[in-house]
Amino acid sequence: MVECPNCGREIKSLNQWHNCVTTTVDSLFEGKDPDLVLIFDKILAEVSEWEDVTVSTTQNCIVFVHRQTFLIIRPMTKVLDLKFYSENVLENEMIKKSIPYSGRYENHIRLSPAEEINSKVYTYLRKSYELL
């Protein structure tokens, strides 16, 4: 991994395409439901403990990378959208979308309020981390 000299994001190589915009986590949560910050903080506390995880921001989301991107969190007005990957289609009432993507599945969960974050969510995220 190398750091982009313009935006500071960690990327695989300097010629890798990425959205080269600098922003802060706080700015992504401006005008959003305050409960979303609580959900994000819980996820960040868990995932940041995993080995070799880097966290960066783009103009509209927070990206978690371990060799490859394994989690993207997008603060929406009233919910937090989590995009992660799996080997198989996931069928659970929590999963809003599970679609084929590059030989695996891209999944979305939308969380709000903070009580919706549970061990099943962390299990999905951990499997995405291990998959990539």
**CATH number of the structural domain spanning residue 102:** 3.30.1460
- In a domain, residue 8? The reply is no
- ∠ CA 33-24-71, nearest 5°, is 75
pLDDT of residue 8: 74
Span 10-35, average pLDDT:
83
Span 37-57, average pLDDT:
94
| Alpha-carbon gap, residue 73 to 109, rounded angstroms | 10
| Alpha-carbon gap, residue 96 to 110, rounded angstroms | 7
For residue 49, pLDDT beyond 80: yes
For residue 107, pLDDT beyond 90: yes
pLDDT of residue 90: 94
| Alpha-carbon gap, residue 46 to 89, rounded angstroms | 24
Cα–Cα distances in Å, from 73 out to 13, 48, 98, 112? 23, 14, 16, 13
Cα–Cα distances in Å, from 129 out to 14, 28, 62, 86, 98? 23, 23, 15, 9, 17
pLDDT of residue 4: 81
- Between these two residues, 9 and 27, which has the higher pLDDT value? 27
- Between these two residues, 13 and 60, which has the higher pLDDT value? 60
For residue 113, pLDDT beyond 80: yes
- In a domain, residue 13? The reply is no
Nearest to 129 by CA among 28, 43, 2: 43
Q: What is the tally of structural domains in the chain?
A: 1
- In a domain, residue 69? The reply is yes
The proportion of the chain whose per-residue pLDDT surpasses 90, expressed as a percent, equals 70
> Across the chain, what does the average pLDDT equal?
91
pLDDT of residue 74: 97
Cβ 107 vs Cβ 31: under 8 Å: no
The range of the structural domain enclosing residue 103 comes to 23-131
For residue 106, pLDDT beyond 90: yes
